[in-house]
Amino acid sequence: MMKFRVFAATAALLGLASPAITTASAENGEVNVYTYRETKLVQPLFNAFTADTGIKVNVVSASSGLEQRIKAEGTNSPADVLLTVDIGRIDEAVAAGVTQPIKSEAIDKIVPVQYRDPDGHWAGISMRARVIYASKDRVKQDAITYEELADPKWKGKICIRSGQHIYNNGLFAAYAARYGEAKAEEWLRGLKANLAQRPSGGDREAARDVAAGKCDIGIGNTYYWALMMNNDPEKKPWAEATRVILPTFQGGGTHVNLSGVLLAKHAPNRANGVKLIEWLTGEKAQKIYADSNYEYPIRAGVAINPTIAGYGKLNADSLPISKIAANRKAAATLVDKVGFDN
């Protein structure tokens, strides 16, 4: 059984040494992972990787600041792999200059081109979609477009978390990438006018407020609904009061974001880091992602978890994730400009 070494984010952010992760591990069969994913979510993956390869996985887990830590550690950083969620986090790591191209034929073959960096600095390993939690009682439509969220017919009926949250930033950036900033601003003003209340809480709370009758539709990620339905008896009634609709762009598909992986710039165990990255796109890892995290596999042919499959067939939008990343700053500026969170 693999032994995990997990260290507090506080120590990481204060620059305190992690006693079990050192560059000396370059001589051993180890790989050092910095991750934003909760340990309980990634532990099954690392257990399986160690069982398959004999390579021990050392882990630093934190909710923020990992890019800054790697940058501060410089050439002495023990980090080999950064495991993260959302194109926002991925983009910030690349911008911080703490990554290097992965250079893997296996990754290029398995991961669709729209879900990896043109320069090779990151690759998606699973997908999540930004969808609608609709009231079973009050919403009769089976299909809704993202553009339609600004239609006055939804006035006072939409609940959503902060417009500056990375999940919404990704959706808003996708809109800006597709239609330009002027159209995105107009759409955001329309969406804001349709909100039932000031943006607050998280995606689960959007479902809660729909269940309570405060709004008719909430905006959330696909996996939160599944987690409420299957893993959280206290919040299960929120899921039971709603159903998931996979919205699409007009003439396009459903907006998706990524769980992604990056190779650290000064990785002391580069070969093992690449081996882990490639393994994460293999069938076994992709199945674990699908069933443990309720995410869509990035690898074709891997079965989708039944709960997620129950939403209907995902027609993922073809807009490259890199183009969405390029519009993140513009989207954040527009959120402030229209006073979305006010």
Residues tagged in the binding site annotation for Fe cation:
223-224
What are the two backbone dihedrals, phi and then psi, of residue 273, each rounded to the nearest 5 degrees?
-65, -45
Rounded CA separation 65/251 (Å): 38
Residues in a beta bridge with 243: 134
Taking the C-alpha atoms of residue 209 and residue 215, their distance in angstroms, rounded to an integer, is 6
Query: Cα(first)–Cα(last) distance of the chain, in Å?
Result: 50
- Convert 140-196 into a string of H (helix), E (strand) and C (coil): CCCCCECHHHHCHHHCCCEECCCCCCHHHHHHHHHHHHHHCHHHHHHHHHHHHHCEC
**35: which 2 tokens?**
């991750």
Rounded CA-CA distance 172/178 in Å is 10
SS3 27: helix
Q: How many CB atoms lie within 10 A of CB 94?
A: 16
Q: Binding site membership: which residues?
A: 223-224
Do the strands 242-245 and 99-100 form a parallel or antiparallel pair, or are they unpaired? unpaired
The owner of tokens 């690898």 is 299
